[in-house]
Structure 1
Amino acid sequence: MNQQFDNIPEVALAWHRAGRGVVLATVVQTWGSAPRPVGSQLAIAGDGEMAGSVSGGCVEGAVIVEAQDALQDGKPRMLEFGVSDDEAFAAGLACGGRICVMIEPVGAVMPESMLADLVAARAGRLPIAYVIDPVTQTRKLADAGAYPDRFTADKSGYEGAAFIAIHNPPLKLIVVGAVHIAQPLLVMARLAGFDPVLVDPRSAFGTPARFPDQTIIEDWPDEALMAQGLDARCAVVTLSHDPKIDDPAIITALGADVFYIGALGSRRTHAKRMARLTGAGITPAQLKRIHAPVGLDIGSISPAEIAISIMAQITQCLRKPQL
């Protein structure tokens, strides 16, 4: 959640079912320079084992003590910490401020069945929100339609008295074509919080030597994209410059709810592509979804600069789809 799809809910559920007792601590409010965003979580087991974090280390100790007390009495807690400038600097922050953390014993406060439903939705790549009213102590799960702006922005936070924790599926970028531009693009995508995948049926191109530590699929793009599963958290970029490779990928992406489709090539190349796709039965409305020439016009020349322009355009379409 909030660009980090860690496994804290999954860990908490496993610990609870193992009879170890577990508390979920969630950041519900913080200062702007915090190392962990609102929605970040820490799971604390009854035997002291921990997973995740809620700060840079300046409040973890106090949260753990309160969590152990919450396991004993089965009651939720809302903790508020004033962090001094010195403490904040030691934790890697620019300045001090305020952080609020909600403590929930699983079972006693957060129902096991609700946590299980949350974990199941995450496993199925379904966007889901965990909504808590701290006044009435009611809890529920809601789909993306309930808070569309928050899901688009990956932004947990308060709406009125209720706190909404956004759990979005991981972002995925599928790059078709193991060309030079793909090398920096895959690295940048991972740094931006995406799970990148490289697809190219040409074994000589998509090699581990050229793309170390990357997921490489040596298959035809239409089959690879269908096997990957395409949804609203996916972006697809075609770079091969070969219609036999790029066109099937674009057609497959146009048939799915991906939030971005980009295609490398000049305006002349794209005009020819549009004619081919029209002949393949693609409608004018579908063709408008293709960003080509790919990337924002920032005067890019080198492969790395082109990759920057592509990631900038992908980010713009993700965060400000109206532009």
Structure 2
Amino acid sequence: MSMTFAKVFCFLVLVQVLVPNLAEGQGLKVGFYAKPCPNAEEIVNGVMKTVFKEALSLSGPLLRMHFHDCFVRGCDGSILLNSVNKTAEKDSPPNLSLRGFGVIDRVKAALEKQCPGVVSCSDILAIVARDAVVATGGQFYNVETGRRDGSVSLLTDALNNLLPPTSDFATLISGFTALGLNATDLAVLSGGHTIGTSHCSSFSDRLYNFTGKNDTDPSMDKNYIARLKSRCKINDQTTLVEMDPGSVRTFDIKYYSLITKRRGLFTSDQALLNNTVTKSYINAQLKNGGATFGHDFGVSMVKMGRIGVLTGSSGQIRKFCYKNN
């Protein structure tokens, strides 16, 4: 996306006590802004069409930003807040590779011009994520809106709760279950890795020191390891590698095909084959040509977008997404 994953697996987050453990989302609905700002989504989409025409590579990072927001404190826009002393979520090492904050500010400015004080930053993230999927050829889905923005953003929350890409299946499903998401959601949302890139540092252990003995991950295809080593040298912190080689800007099921060939970039990708539900989903999509993947992704995104939301009189509607009112 340039989906860089600086030592964090974007979709898979273990949230312990930071958000409610069910993705319920009371108060959200499709068309929430129909009366107070009827053209809200059109305004967002207009800005994003211009952005993606100039830089489609931002589609991945902006999709990832919505995940990073929702999986720490819930979908409350806390990932967007700045901190003078650099102690906000965005300052945490796992989030330093995020890009596109200026795009969110651009969208917010356009909305404030037409509908001041109406559309939340957390809803903007959800709509932009959907537009990123569509811009790369994914299926359109309706976004529930009505979220309000939180006021707390702590570096430690992100640092302590974002799972590394070295996670095994048990750890991944534990994190998802805690948020009301299931194994199918895990398989589906992991499919978002079809767009974007990752820093070498997020998977270099699989290439050079898998068990602490200067070895490689035996579950990874040897030819793929050789190819990755040609791109990523030991301790490389800057080089970017496509998570879905050759299809990095196309929302498709090629990512699933790579996993079955032992070419998933992360340990957490390959772990999807270690469970009957996730493995069956992957095989089914490959068998039917991804016939339901677009629809399924929209369903799971909406479900994820309900995690820990603030609605009604809770929270605020920020005038600027990077600071509290």
TM-score, length of structure 2 as denominator length: 0.29
Greater relative CO (CA pairs within 8 A, separation 6+): 2
Larger-Rg structure? 1
More strand by share: 1
